[in-house]
Structure 1
Amino acid sequence: MASTAPRARVSPPALAVHSERKRARSPPASGSAVRCSYAGNGAPRGYHRRWQNPAGAPGRVYQRQGSQKYGVPTRRWVLAEESSTSDRDACTIMSYNILADNNVQNHPDLYLEVPWDAMRWDSRRRLIFGEIRHWDPDLVCLQEVDRFRDISTEMNNRGYESRFKGRTGDAKDGCATFWKSKRLCLLDEDSIDFSEYNLRNNVAQIFVFELNRTQKLVVGNIHVLFNPKRGDVKLGQIRMLLEKANTLAEKWGGIPIVLAGDFNSTPDSAIYKFLSTKKLDISLHDRRQLSGLASSEFALYDLCSLLKYQWSDDEMRTATGSSNVTVAKHPLKLFSSYAMLKGNSNNRGHHGEPLATSYHKKFLGTVDYLWYTAGLECSRVLDTLPVGALRRTRGLPTREIGSDHLPIVAEFVFTESTEDDSNQEDESDQDEESEQEATRSHHTYFSSDTDISDEAS
């Protein structure tokens, strides 16, 4: 259910050139995130606590008095080395899997090391809002939202409009997108209920926004299926999102696209390769290995270039769209915002992606991304935390971090349209991934049991 009544759709205009209204990009935040402290894990349920109500700084942590404290590193902006478009309209977008409260209850095994009070929704809610208030993004794409009324009330009070798309079946969460009504105008929208396509009960949202009445862009928000064994479903969901986002972008004259979300795939995975190179030969991969979340991947990846895996007609249709086609393709030339900006080796892998955007009992690694197309340039990203700092928490959330994911944030500026040569396909029969890189993954999967419920985050 949306928090506001749907607007009438606006018919797409004929192609026209708008006069640019320039806006100086705001300087990077000097201090970045509020410094937090980490309280020691574990507390008996009978422990009486008293919460302090701070008078104000956004992101301030409510924490129990007398607890032991550990420093949490500050998150800082990483700026593009060169930007010839710094004086143009800029749009800051956050992607954040906030950990559905229902999933906390259904999967306690993932949070065995987390202090009991850090799992409470009222505590996590304050921290999540603190993150959003502090970074003040123009657009916020949330996943695992099952307390939409709580969140939308707070966001509406801060000048955001919103849309929510819930999952079907027994699931109680969904995706929610918020935007500042003073800066962005909603022109068009679409959504995907993947259950209508026999692709499980995940959902995605797609919008067309106009920024400052001058520039238009498509924004997609998705939470991909978690189940490590169903790489065919993951690939099918992502492929459908890309196709529908491209269709909407073309409808409005070929405007640029940003895709945010929890893709439940690591940077070393075949699915990441599909996103970044526009195609993937699935016959070179086991569907249980496509997303990089299966613990056995390290042993098998170096054999990928030598093996031909068997796919059933149904699995092939799910992954590529056709039962007799082994190569999945999509129409977009995508760039990953974090991979495009050089970060610190303490928290970046060899792909340039963060080493970790999520951490719980069974997984430490990166699954959250902000992808974009030509027509935009990523001018800065909010760097993630070093893996060492995350390991010291022994698992997220904590009393300072409200979810088992870190929010990722990127600022985009519009560029002049250029001829894209990305339509030139590489006709090689080899999947270039073959994959000396992929044998050295930076994510860690802590359990040999990959038979995990689809509902896990």
Structure 2
Amino acid sequence: MNATTRLLTTLSVSNVFCRNIHSVLHQELKVAHMSEVPLKQLLLKNLRKSASAPEALFSTYVNLVDSISSPETHQEFAKTIMEPYLDSCFIPKDASPASTYDFPTASSSSVENSSENIAAIFSQEMDINRNSGQDDSFENKRLRDIQRYRAMRKWKRFGKLKQSVDPNDAFVLRLMSFNILAQSLLESHPYLYKEHDKEALHWKVRKYLITQEILQVEANVICLQEMQEAHLEEFLIPFRAQGYDYLYKKRTNDKDDGLLLLYRADQLVILDHLKVEMYQSGIEILSRDNVALVVKFALRENLETQIVIATTHLLYNPKRSDVRLGQTQILLSEIERLAFLENTMTGPKYLPIILSGDFNLEPNTGVYKFITQGQFTYQNKGRNLETQDYRLLSNLLIPPHLHVTDGCQHFNVLMQRLRGEGTGEVMLENRERGQKRLSEDASRAEELRVNGGTSQCQTIEIDDKHSVNFSSGTLTHPFRFRSVYKHKNRHGKPEATTNQGKWVTVDYIFFTEVEPLDKYSLPTADECNDLPTIPNYAVGSDHLCLAATFKVLKKKRSSL
């Protein structure tokens, strides 16, 4: 048998060198996301400049070590390996120059095709196909994760019978709510994600999965929390292409994420909106930077058919349910003034309302009870709004000088409304609008019956039929909110939307005066334990999305 000698070429040397140096760097220096393409280019460049291959190899090694010590160059290496993957995600190979984005629709065939394409992209671009065993393991595992996750997320109708909707009588509104996890928050709290697959935490990887899941739901209104302002314009591109317009509200005091509300501009028109700031200077219970969006929509084809949609992201701190209660009081007072229609013999009448978001509270806890039951007594409860023997709350929650009543109404607005004299002034500050808190001198003297300097309970008689309370120790609101989700399946197993040390529900869609048709089912906590830690290659956020479809009755057009 004749011995065979392999011809060493520049390209083969570079291939061998790159494979070995890549392995050494990964094991010894723990440097991730290094692409072989720049290594090859660097080696070929040094081979052309050097007299010998050993000298070129040594120069390349020195250059590479120097580049690793430079954060800018390290970022460029990461960018080099991620961008080809993202180009494959967003730009089909046969796309024309005029057609840049090609997002999958909700059809089953396109969903399956996109899943296969993503699996192929991960195998090719993330350098995991070192041998067929590893490749099969990764691809099969990822496909199983996707299939398992999709099996958990099915549309389920309310009631046993499928309802038909006459488009002449009602409008079908589908709303989605999703905390998409701002990349800045992910990167500033790395200890929360130390068990995660680091490749799956890249924003461009997560953005594709998030965008895909949102567009597949085909909602008329999309409410997103933790939308990073720096990513907003790029994130909006595919939604604008699909006919969505938007409102955005960043959190206060230089926070870099906020709320994004997208809506189908060909179906809905905004009549009015409020960008609500929970932060009120000098008030401890309102010293956090949470915000809300409250929007009054009308059907474009029938402007008399209106609905109020609100979304928020309340404080996370598990120990401060009292803060979330105060934030909810502010939010409901803003919803109340935008949703109000008229006073009737049986009380005030309001537009239909849908309220969604990340409330950072579990079912049947204090704030949840307040929202769904319309009343809650906080006095003599602990800060967690549970019964305890120490640090009990007094009768005072929000100070009365804000003129927000214990019935979640703005006192000045209510006074003017009852007189038929306009909307009244709101005693809240709002930095985005340049609105400072109004002093008592700025309002008419007869409206200033509220003693803003006392913590004592106040009951103020407006007229023979109307009175309001401040600092009574009990909050009420006029709405009859129900939750789309029951929070347990038919076997009594708890549902989950995120993992906060354990799988729990903290995200909600509440509604009133509209009829639910179906909902996007949530998995149970036990089922979530079968998934890899989120975010992963099937789920792009650390929360699961919620969605529901409602029937909104159309108003009869006024006769001319």
Say whether the fold is shared (TM-score over 0.5): yes
Shift of the alpha carbon at 1:211?
2.3
Are residues 1:239 and 2:329 paired?
yes
Whichever structure has more helix as a proportion of its residues is: 2
User: Which residue in the other structure is 1:411 paired with?
Assistant: 549
Distance 2:206 2:277 in 1: 28
Distance 1:282 1:314 in 2: 9
Do the aligned partners of residues 320 and 226 (structure 1) sit closer, same or farther apart at CA in structure 2, a change above 3 Å counting? farther
Shift of the alpha carbon at 1:267?
0.4
Check whether the contact 2:396–2:473 (CA below 8 A) recurs between aligned residues. no
Q: Which deviates the most, 131-140 or 275-284?
A: 275-284
* 1:211-247 deviations in Å (ceiling 9; x for gaps): 2433210000101111122222111111221121121
Check whether the contact 2:395–2:472 (CA below 8 A) recurs between aligned residues. no
Do the aligned partners of residues 46 and 205 (structure 1) sit closer, same or farther apart at CA in structure 2, a change above 3 Å counting? closer
Shift of the alpha carbon at 1:44?
7.3
Check whether the contact 1:283–1:309 (CA below 8 A) recurs between aligned residues. no
Shift of the alpha carbon at 1:320?
8.0
- Percent of residue pairs identical: 28
Check whether the contact 2:380–2:392 (CA below 8 A) recurs between aligned residues. no
User: Which residue in the other structure is 1:118 paired with?
Assistant: 200
User: Which residue in the other structure is 2:427 paired with?
Assistant: none
Q: Which amino acid aligns with 1:121?
A: W
Equivalent residue in structure 2 for 1:76, among 148, 154, 159:
154
Distance 1:307 1:230 in 2: 16
Distance 2:532 2:394 in 1: 40
Are residues 1:145 and 2:227 paired?
yes
Shift of the alpha carbon at 1:377?
0.7
Are residues 1:359 and 2:499 paired?
yes
User: Which residue in the other structure is 2:165 paired with?
Assistant: 86
Do the aligned partners of residues 344 and 112 (structure 1) sit closer, same or farther apart at CA in structure 2, a change above 3 Å counting? farther
User: Which residue in the other structure is 1:430 paired with?
Assistant: none
Equivalent residue in structure 2 for 1:165, among 239, 243, 249:
249
User: Which residue in the other structure is 1:9 paired with?
Assistant: none
Q: Which amino acid aligns with 2:32?
A: R
Equivalent residue in structure 2 for 1:105, among 175, 181, 187:
187
Instruction: Give ranges in structure 1 of 5+ residues lacking alignment.
Output: 1-42, 291-300, 350-354, 418-457
Instruction: Give ranges in structure 2 of 5+ residues lacking alignment.
Output: 1-29, 36-80, 93-102, 106-110, 124-134, 343-348, 407-453, 456-470, 556-560
Distance 1:158 1:254 in 2: 32
Distance 1:119 1:84 in 2: 41
Which SS does the other structure have where 1:195 is aligned? coil
Are residues 1:130 and 2:212 paired?
yes
Which SS does the other structure have where 2:279 is aligned? helix
Are residues 1:257 and 2:353 paired?
yes
Are residues 1:334 and 2:481 paired?
yes
* 1:134-190 deviations in Å (ceiling 9; x for gaps): 111000000001022222222112110001000112411000100001111111111
Distance 2:523 2:182 in 1: 22
Distance 2:381 2:165 in 1: 42
Distance 1:416 1:180 in 2: 18
User: Which residue in the other structure is 1:213 paired with?
Assistant: 301
Check whether the contact 1:343–1:383 (CA below 8 A) recurs between aligned residues. no
Q: TM-score, normalising length from structure 1?
A: 0.70
Number of residue pairs the alignment of both structures matches: 352
Greater RCO between the two (CA within 8 Å, min separation 6)?
1
Q: Which amino acid aligns with 1:234?
A: R
Do the aligned partners of residues 281 and 380 (structure 1) sit closer, same or farther apart at CA in structure 2, a change above 3 Å counting? same
Distance 1:124 1:170 in 2: 24
Check whether the contact 1:85–1:415 (CA below 8 A) recurs between aligned residues. no
Distance 2:294 2:224 in 1: 13
Q: Which amino acid aligns with 1:80?
A: F
The aligned runs of 1:9-408 (5 Å cut-off) are 45-46=32-33, 51=85, 53=88, 57-58=104-105, 60-61=114-115, 62-63=118-119, 64-65=122-123, 66=135, 67=138, 69=141, 70-71=144-145, 72-73=148-149, 74=151, 75-81=153-159, 82=161, 86-87=165-166, 88-146=170-228, 147-196=231-280, 198=283, 199=286, 200-214=288-302, 215-251=305-341, 254-283=350-379, 285-287=381-383, 289-290=384-385, 304=387, 310-312=392-394, 315=397, 317=399, 323=455, 324-339=471-486, 343-345=489-491, 349=494, 355-359=495-499, 362-374=501-513, 376-408=514-546
* 1:305-334 deviations in Å (ceiling 9; x for gaps): x86862257656499869442112222110
Q: Which amino acid aligns with 1:45?
A: A
Check whether the contact 1:265–1:272 (CA below 8 A) recurs between aligned residues. yes
What is the Cα-based RMSD across aligned positions, in Å?
2.9
Which SS does the other structure have where 2:245 is aligned? strand
Distance 1:102 1:133 in 2: 24
Q: Which deviates the most, 365-374 or 205-214?
A: 205-214
Which SS does the other structure have where 2:379 is aligned? helix
Q: Which amino acid aligns with 2:533?
A: G
